[in-house]
Amino acid sequence: MRAILLQTARGAGRSTGSPALADVDAAFERGERIRSWTQRGTVHILDPRDLGWMLGITAGRQLRQAAGVHRRLGIDDDVLARAESAVRPVLRGDNRLTRRELGTVLTDAGIDASGMRANLILVALCLRRLVVLGPVVPREGAPSREQYVVAADEWVEDATAPADPLAEILVRYLRGHGPAGLADFRWRAGLPLGLARSALEGAGTRVTEVEGGLFAEAAGTSATAGDTGAAAPEDAAAPGVVALPAFGPGPNGAVAPVLVTGGRVVGTWKHALAVDRHHLAPVVGTVEVQLDEASVAAALARYVEFLAGGRPPQASARSPGPGRPGLSCAQFSLPARRQAGRDGHPTGPD
C-alpha cells in the first residue's frame, strides 16, 4: 500500500476501492489505515506499518521546510517538547482527541494554540511520530470531515522497513502514477533531485524506462479504457487517475474532483457535503474525448451511492436551496470541449 494524497478523509474510499464510506470509517476504526503528513507537508492515507520508514526519509526535510513559519509563530523545540509532555499522557490508554480538544489540551498546558499554531503543532507531533490521525469523528446526517488524534505507539505496528526505502517509495509511486518522470516523483514525495536519482538507481530492474525520461514499474500494467469514473477531491493518487495541472491544485492546495475515463482526467465536478445535501455539478470541459451525459450521470451516481453506504442515490428530503440540487445526479450540463495546449494538457479558461 502506497501513501495516497488525501486532504479530506472522505476521499479515502474512492482511492482504496472500498464500496462504501462506512467501510472506510471501519478501516480507520480498526487501525488498518491512518493519516499523517508523510510527504511534502501534506496529509496522506497509508497502511500504519509503512509510517516509520516513510517518515524516516521525509520527516526531517519537512520539519526543516516548516522552520521559517515556526520561527515567526514562536514554535520552537521547547514548545514542541511541552506539547509532547501535555499530549502524551492524555492519549494514553487508547484515548482520542478531536482537533478542538487537542487545542484545549495545549492551552491548558500554557501553549498558545491560536490561529494556525494548533495545526502546525499537530503536524510537528505527527512528524515526530507521537500522534497520527485515526478513527473518524462521527457527524450526524453527513459524512465526517474530521478524524481523531490518537497515539502513534498504540495505533502503529512495528514493521520491518524495506531493504531500500527510497527505491520502495519510487516503485509504489510508479505503481499508481506511472509512467512518470523523476521531476513529478520528487515533487510528489517532497524529495530533492539527488535523492530521487538515488531512488531510481536503487530500484534497478523493478523500474523500466518506457520512453524518454518516463518510468513505470516493470511488472505493472497501465490503466485501460473503461467506464467514466468520478474521483473524489484528492483521488489524484488513485490507480489510473491522472491529475493534470489545469485542474488543480486550488488556492488551498487541494485538487478538484475529477472525471476520469481510460486512466485520463477528462473533466472536473463540484459537490458539497452539507448535512442532508449533496451538490454535484461537473465543471470545466472535456479533454480530447467527448463524453455523453449518461456516462457522466452514472459516474456521479456511483459516487453518491458510495457516500450513501452502498445504497442507490435518493432525492434529498431537505430542500437544498436555489441552484443547489440535492442527492439526485440527473441535473447537470456538460460544458463545451476545450482545446488542448502544446503539452497535451487543456488550456486555461477563456
Distance between CA atoms of residues 342 and 322, nearest Å = 40
Share the mean pLDDT of the chain.
74
Closest CA relative to residue 75, chosen from 35, 36, 125: 125
What is the pLDDT, as a whole number, of residue 340? Answer: 37
b/e 275-297 (16+ beta carbons within 10 angstroms → b): eebbbbbbbbbbbeeebeeeebb
Beta carbons of 264 and 47 less than 8 angstroms apart: no
- DSSP letters along 285-309, please? --SSS---HHHHHHHHHHHHHHHTT
pLDDT digits (tens, 9 = 90+) for 23-48: 888 889 999 999 999 988 888 899 99
Q: What is the mean pLDDT of residues 103-128?
A: 97
What is the pLDDT, as a whole number, of residue 275? Answer: 46
The DSSP bridge pattern shows strands 281-283 and 264-270 to be antiparallel
pLDDT digits (tens, 9 = 90+) for 55-99: 999 999 999 999 999 999 999 999 999 999 999 999 999 999 999
| Residue 324 confidence class, pLDDT cut points 50, 70, 90 | very low
Distance between CA atoms of residues 53 and 39, nearest Å = 12
Which region among 78-82, 175-179, 274-278, 294-298 has the lowest average model confidence (pLDDT)? 274-278
Rounded to two decimals, what is the model's pTM? 0.71
Of residues 306 and 324, the one with the higher pLDDT is 306
Say what percent of the chain tops pLDDT 70. 62
What is the pLDDT, as a whole number, of residue 294? Answer: 74
Q: What is the mean pLDDT of residues 266-277?
A: 61
What is the pLDDT, as a whole number, of residue 75? Answer: 97
Q: What is the mean pLDDT of residues 10-29?
A: 67
The one-letter amino acid code at 306 reads: F
| Residue 18 confidence class, pLDDT cut points 50, 70, 90 | low
Q: Which three cell numbers stand for residue 52?
A: 516509520
- pLDDT surpassing 90 at residue 131: yes
- pLDDT surpassing 50 at residue 267: yes
Highest average pLDDT, of 95-109, 174-188, 282-296, 307-321, comes from 95-109
